[in-house]
Amino acid sequence: MWLKFQRFLELIRFSHTIFALPFALLASFWAWIVPSPIPEIQVRFGWSSGLGILLCMVFARSFAMAVNRLLDRKWDGENPRTANRHLPAKLLGVPEVGWFTVLCGVLFIASCLLFLPNRLPALLSLPVLLFLGGYSLGKRFTWLVHVWLGAALMLAPICAWIALRGEILPKAPYDLLPAVWLGAVVLLWVSGFDILYACQDAEFDRQAGLSSIPARFGIRGALNIAKVLHFSMWIVAMGMTYWAPELSLGFLFRAVMLAVGGLLIYEHSVVSERSLDRMQLAFFQLNSIISVLILGAGALDAWLK
């Protein structure tokens, strides 16, 4: 049973939760500490809502990854880089992964009930699952699939804010903006590093008739597009210190974002058209550091102010 449990964690790349979870936590922290201009919205920390954010993140991501593994198992088996994944290698069976997917979806919807009397998370839970699961079909018809993945992870901070604030279209024009700015950072950042990661499969995607930016524009073009996206992400993150005044982000956040900019430059320096062998360093280790840095700086700076 323990071995089976480990295989399911490996199937969904549980360690990669570090990419989106910090942004959901940061949006939650902001929703708790930033006063609302609407008297009816006075958000206070509650263990049920905190647990709800954590469970929703885990189950939503597990659902999306399991759907991806199920729908892509044919191409995973044909691609030498992914042929040893659990379904092609028959370490896990299709029926059990299918039941695991259903279970994660049901538990995600159930976790949304922890935010009652706010009904919005429960009402939006099914559309969110459909959008997350739909990403796995993207490579079949659009090379913008990387942006779809970025948009899927962008939902993490925005949905956390909605779950705690209880409104989508607030009475005050700027009430939702902190989560929207943070969501834009996630969108640009994830889209960029997913393009980098997809460079490993550019030739296979062309031969299999799958769509991706590296397959469409070549590795050099893909690397340049990723650079533009990451530079835009850095501009938006720095801009939050001016465009989201209610957060009172200041010197600490700007200093950390300078460090994040350095990490992004290093990330692109270790990946080149001729050498993709350091992709794991660029993809997982550096991006994990970036997400944790933004969480720490965004939370501490806002709390100190």
Residue 40 has pLDDT above 60, yes or no: no
In a domain, 5, yes or no: no
Count of domains observed in the chain: 1
- pTM of the full structure: 0.91
| pLDDT tens-place string over residues 195-248 | 999 998 999 999 999 999 999 999 999 999 999 999 999 999 999 888 877 788
Is residue 166 one of the residues assigned to a domain? yes
CATH number at residue 250: 1.10.357.140
How far apart are the C-alpha atoms of 239 and 157, rounded to whole Å? Answer: 17
Residue tagged 């460090």 (tokens) = 259
Q: Report d(CA 196, CA 115) in Å as an integer.
A: 37
User: How many angstroms separate the CA atoms of 207 and 170, rounded?
Assistant: 48
More confident residue, 73 or 274: 73
Contacts with 139 (C-beta within 8 Å, 6 or more apart), sequence order: 72, 145, 205, 210, 211, 212
Give a yes or no: residue 1 inside a domain: no
By percentage, how much of the chain surpasses pLDDT 70? Answer: 90
- The mean per-residue pLDDT over the stretch 141-153 comes to 95
**Residue 174 pLDDT > 50:** no
The token duo for 159 is: 């949905």
Question: What integer pLDDT is reported at residue 123 of this predicted model?
Answer: 93
pLDDT for position 164: 87
The answer to whether residue 175 sits within a structural domain is: yes
* Rounded Cα gap, residues 56 and 38, in angstroms: 26
The predicted structure's pLDDT at residue 138: 93
Residue 275's alpha-carbon distances to 191, 203, 285, in angstroms, are 21, 14, 18
Average pLDDT over residues 86-94: 90
Is 97 contained in some domain? yes
In a domain, 13, yes or no: no
Mean pLDDT confidence for 165-181 = 66
Residue range(s) defining the domain that contains residue 100: 18-304
